[in-house]
Chains A and B, each alone.
Chain A
Amino acid sequence: MNQELIERFVAGRLNEAEAEAFEEYCLANPEFARQVEYEQRLKAGIAQVARGSTAEFVRSNHHTARWNFAAAAGILLSLLAMYYAWSHYVPHAVKPLMAAVTTDEQRDGASLRLALVRGNEAAPALQKGLTRVEIVGLFDLGFHYSVTLDRLEKNKKVDTIATLYSQHPSSPVTLEVMIDSDRLQPGTYSLRVRRQASDEEPLDFGFVKF
């Protein structure tokens, strides 16, 4: 068996009989199967990364620095705008509806894990009080993310309630925010997570508040 045959199998270019014979050869040869699996995972990983955008594949090295500078400038402007809004419009006594996770007490408190799970059609329920919402997905630690809280009305209208910018993932697969559940009306909500300074598709996570 050679590399070309592995490539043809992984690309789905063998006919069914050839593919089945290839698979049985893999079962009888575990080390060869591992080689095939790496090829399958490389292809799957590329498809997964390209799901939102293929920018990472086509960027030139020269553009990287420019995009990094643009992202940094964007973040700085967002921070300045947020500080201006905070200092001019937000009464300091008001607790925010949605905020970043900043203390150990928040980390140890009530939490809700949001992940789009295969076959799961029931939206999770947000408990009462201040709750840490753990969003599970694929995040890049080198980027900042915006998190938008939308209320989904019955007439399909989407009402944006709050947006947090410049959130940093706590791990490559987790991003966390605090939500004050008591300030939400009962209904169906969606958290939309978007990587800033990119054209990657946002991720949507639904939940309900009773």
Chain B
Amino acid sequence: MDFVPGGELSRRIREGDVSAESELIRQFEPGLRVLLRRRTGGDYGLLQDLVQETLLVVIQRLRGAGIDDPQKLAAFAAQTARNLAIASLRKAERQKTDVDSDATDRNADPKQNVDGHAADLEAALAVRALLRELPQARDRLMLKRFYLDEHDKDIICQEMDLTEAAFNQALSRARRRFRQILEERGFSKRDLLSSGL
């Protein structure tokens, strides 16, 4: 689908064009997920909540007062998302200062709460499938060192006796297969927001 400039989207939404609102969601949702994933510390539930909240705020603003420079709609949406993420973080911090000690005892490992239940389970399942499929132990270890241990490519290549081309080829193969697994399982086809607004 073609990209619709921010100015045109702003004008159409202000004029009450509902299809322009759907277009805005289609255009901005992937970018907002990227932006907010970095700010939600692996909490997938919070990420989805904030994406939806951002789109609601932006659409309501465009339906009403509008924004100063409609050409900068993407920048406005990005800043709205950042502000909401900061507000959410502050709210979470405030809640931490007033905790029932018995409840804390019962939930002794807060990290496990986040990792185990709000995490991106679909991605984890796809990674498991990917790891089972990778024929070379070397490739699995390479993924671990690159993504988990965050070692530099140069160091990994040197220590695993790989050329940079071979490293990039293996990494690119793994990425392609990961995306394919998610798509095959329907995990990437999300229309959660389109119906909710």
Contact = CB atoms under 8 A, between A and B. Distances in A.
A116 B113 contact: yes
Interface string B133-173: 00101001101100110100000000000000000000000
B106 A27 contact: no
A10 B167 CA distance: 18
B5 to A, nearest CB: 9
A204 B112 contact: yes
Contact of B131 (A23, A30, A57, A203): A57
A51 B31 contact: no
B124 A138 contact: yes
A47 B42 contact: yes
Interface residues of B, number: 65
Q: Give the 6 A-B residue pairs with the shortest CB-CB distance, closest first.
A: A45-B123, A27-B31, A45-B127, A33-B30, A26-B31, A57-B144
Contacts of B175: 38-39, 42
Interface of A: 11-12, 19-20, 23-24, 26-31, 33-34, 36-51, 54, 56-61, 115-119, 121-123, 136-138, 140, 152, 156, 172-173, 188, 190, 201, 203-204, 206
Given A28-B3, A45-B124, A57-B131, A136 B117 contact: yes
The main secondary structure of chain B at its interface with chain A is: helix
A138 B78 CA distance: 32
Interface of B: 3, 26-35, 37-38, 42-43, 45-46, 74-75, 77-78, 82, 92, 95, 99-100, 103, 105-109, 112-128, 131, 135, 137, 140-141, 143-144, 147-148, 150, 174-175, 178-179, 182, 188
A119 B34 CA distance: 23
Contacts of A37: 30, 33-34, 37
Contact of A121 (B99, B137, B140): B99
A206 B35 contact: no
Contacts of A45: 120, 123-127, 178
Nearest to A23: B35
Contacts of B43: 118
B100 A118 contact: no
A154 to B, nearest CB: 9
Contacts of A27: 27-28, 31-32, 35, 74-75, 77-78
Given A118-B117, A206-B107, A49 B37 contact: no
B147 A46 contact: yes
B146 to A, nearest CB: 9
B78 A41 contact: no
Choose among B3, B34, B188 the residue with the greatest number of A CB atoms under 10 Å from its CB. Answer: B34
